[in-house]
A and B are shown apart, each in its own frame.
Chain A
Amino acid sequence: MAEQVIICKDLTKRFGDFMAVNKISFEVNRGEIFGFLGANGAGKTTAMRILCGLSYPTSGAATVAGFDVYKQQESIKRNIGYMSQKFSLYENLTVLENIEFYGGVYGLSRKTIRSRSDELINQLGLQQEARKLVGELPLGWKQKLAFSVAIFHQPQIVFLDEPTGGVDPVTRRQFWDMIYAAAASGITVFVTTHYMDEAEYCNRVTIMVDGKIEALDAPQALKARFQANNMEEVFYQLARGAKRSSD
């Protein structure tokens, strides 16, 4: 059995009477691409915030990279990467300065930053642009750079919150190639998305409805179980029963 890097047991977050996350339990294996799906307001973001060490659960237990979400938020933060839909690099800093900044924030030494950023720039083919301001790069490049920066400190897990929002299909495809490469190098990828075709790229997928996990399996198995042609149909069948519709 594979090593588990995220373990949730009856994880619950309650805001007053509202059960944002209602007793969810799941495990994520090392090196897995784990899709976290759900309509707006289903509780994805709340669950993800807990796993990222940004908020405390109301009850239940969870560990991320072996660290407890109640007591070891600092250690969790040190071992994860994060990228959101909002473009997260500084436009008036150059490519290199952005890399140096985020590397520095994660406490990497100057030497490590230098050698890894050389490597990264070569890998992305950004030698010409390394000293240009990020604001001058096309969106697709920015997005890829943002992902590279998110895993620059070589985290155990990277959380991607709708990372491909507003990106064209070609770039999205290239972006997923990068995700596969990261997973192959041993980084666990925890990704939320609205694109059901992207759900198909994941090793396993959970679908959250009204704060609960309604399904958790490989896309192939889910399609078989719900007798659906694609993930979109699976999603609709499950999400139809939702009572909450938005944040």
Chain B
Amino acid sequence: MKQLLVFIRKEFYHVFRDRRTLLIMFGLPVAQILLFGYALTSEVKNAHIIISDQSMDANTTKIIHKIQSSSYFITEVKSLAGEEIDAAFRKGVVRAVLIFPPQFGEDLQHKGKANVQIVADGADPNTAKTIINYLTAILGDYQQSLADGASAPPGIVPELRMLYNPEGNGSLNFIPGVIALIFMIVCSTLTSVSIVREKELGTMEILLVSPFHPIMVLIAKAIPFLVLSLVNFTFILVLSVGFLDIAIKGSILLLFAESTLFIITCLSVGLLISNIANSQQAAMLISMMGMMLPTLLLTGFMYPLDNMPYILQLISNVVPARWYYLIVKAVMLKGLGFSYIWKETLVLVGMTTVLLSLALLKFKTRLS
């Protein structure tokens, strides 16, 4: 036990003295959070929208004029039927379509209440949300101006529809993804590199000849990264709450427990890689290509999985980050309890067990 502590202390020295490791460890999360957070909440300018005015009355003319005079949109006024809307989106230029139904003007005049439809391109959920917010704000403004004279404000009720991504995955959803990505990078890459470095230096041989148990070498390597990753996690949560105004809705304890599990998954991946790779570069390459890309692409936080070909959806099931992402989203953003995420947790536990056994098995056979 004392030997383990001595070893762990040494690992901390390594981490704190290696500028590159420190940068990856603590610089990366800040950069990622700020980049993703602010890049995604930034304003939308010059978004192409189509206004389909089927009512063509004084009200719609005024509203269209209001929209056109804002700098957010490049508008095109033309009437579109059902399939034409889909076709317009498919070309990829149009971000949203605003539809005034034929009876809009009449309804507003006589019933004091009218529907308007906004269809947005959900594949880019942030832009879509921002556009919807702007449009509803303009509609609300107009409504307010009508109310000045009348006793009861007439209601313009926007009906929202997201194409491609009905859930409307938004900026909030990036945070769980970024957390998963950071754990993957920090734990898998740094752990595997730090073990392979000892192999390269020849110190691993010395350790194996010492009475220190080989498995303990792996444990001693993993523990500092586990601890630092939990510190990092806290840091990311503080950043998210403090700078990005994200509220943590669920249990923090559950969040930490699940994160610890995922960190162990990532560490197992790192250990496995360290057994395969013989140089630090190889370890780096395998963990970057093998782990980072799938985490980035197949987790669902950047590109909705539902839009992907079936094969990719199948492959995404073996990406650990995908399950962790679902867990964090459920706990952090939706405030759900363990009863809602036990399946995902079980999948992660299973993956970790398999990965860890593989890593230890490979480590053993390599020794003898």
Contact = CB atoms under 8 A, between A and B. Distances in A.
A101 B201 contact: no
B10 A106 contact: no
Contacts of B3: 104-105, 107
A97 B13 CA distance: 9
Contacts of A97: 10, 13
B202 A88 contact: yes
B6 A104 contact: yes
Contact of B203 (A53, A88, A104): A88
A74 interface: yes
B202 A77 contact: no
B6 A86 contact: no
Nearest to B205: A84
Interface in A92-123: 92-93, 97, 100-102, 104-107
B293 interface: no
Range of interface residues on chain B? 20 to 34
A83 to B, nearest CB: 8
A88 B10 contact: no
Contacts, number: 76
B2 interface: yes
Given A88-B201, A90-B203, A92-B14, A105 B6 contact: yes
A107 to B, nearest CB: 6
Nearest to A91: B201
Contacts of B209: 52-54, 77, 80, 82, 159
A82 B206 contact: yes
Q: Which of A55, A78, A90, A91 has the most CB of B within 10 A?
A: A90
Interface in B201-241: 201-203, 205-212
A205 to B, nearest CB: 23
A102 to B, nearest CB: 8
A204 B207 CA distance: 29
B206 A78 contact: no
Nearest to A80: B209
B212 A90 contact: no
B58 interface: no
B367 interface: yes
Contact of B211 (A85, A101, A106): A106
A92 B194 CA distance: 13
A87 interface: yes
A189 interface: no
Contact of B6 (A53, A55, A101): A101
Range of interface residues on chain A? 20 to 34
A56 B368 CA distance: 8
B211 A74 contact: yes
Given A92-B17, A97-B10, A55 B368 contact: yes
Given A77-B210, A107-B211, A93 B13 contact: yes
Contacts of A82: 205-206, 209-210
Interface string B1-29: 01101110110011001100000000000
Contacts of B208: 54
A93 B7 CA distance: 12
Contacts of A150: 206
Interface in A132-188: 133, 150, 159
Interface in A42-67: 52-56
B99 to A, nearest CB: 65
Given A54-B367, A86-B201, A101-B6, A92 B211 contact: no
A89 interface: yes
Q: Which of A78, A85, A88, A105 has the most CB of B within 10 A?
A: A105
B201 A92 contact: no
B3 to A, nearest CB: 6
Q: Which of B2, B3, B9, B203 has the most CB of A within 10 A?
A: B203
Contacts of B203: 88-90
B201 A87 contact: yes
A92 B207 CA distance: 17
B14 A88 contact: no
B299 to A, nearest CB: 34
B368 A88 contact: no
A104 B2 contact: yes
Contacts of B212: 105
A106 B202 contact: no
B212 to A, nearest CB: 5
A27 B10 CA distance: 38
Interface string B172-212: 00000000000000000000000000000111011111111
Contacts of A101: 6-7, 9-10
B182 to A, nearest CB: 24
A56 B6 CA distance: 29
A143 to B, nearest CB: 12
Given A105-B207, A107-B211, A86 B202 contact: yes
Q: Which of B207, B209, B211, B212 has the most CB of A within 10 A?
A: B209
B1 to A, nearest CB: 10
17 contacts: A74-B211, A77-B210, A77-B211, A87-B201, A88-B203, A88-B206, A90-B10, A90-B14, A91-B201, A100-B6, A101-B6, A102-B210, A104-B2, A104-B5, A105-B212, A106-B211, A107-B3
Interface of A: 52-56, 74, 77-78, 80, 82-93, 97, 100-102, 104-107, 133, 150, 159
10 smallest CB-CB distances across A and B, nearest first, come from: A86-B202, A104-B6, A82-B209, A77-B211, A92-B17, A78-B211, A88-B206, A101-B10, A105-B212, A105-B210
Given A90-B203, A104-B5, 8 more contacts: A53-B209, A86-B205, A88-B202, A90-B14, A102-B206, A105-B3, A107-B3, A107-B211
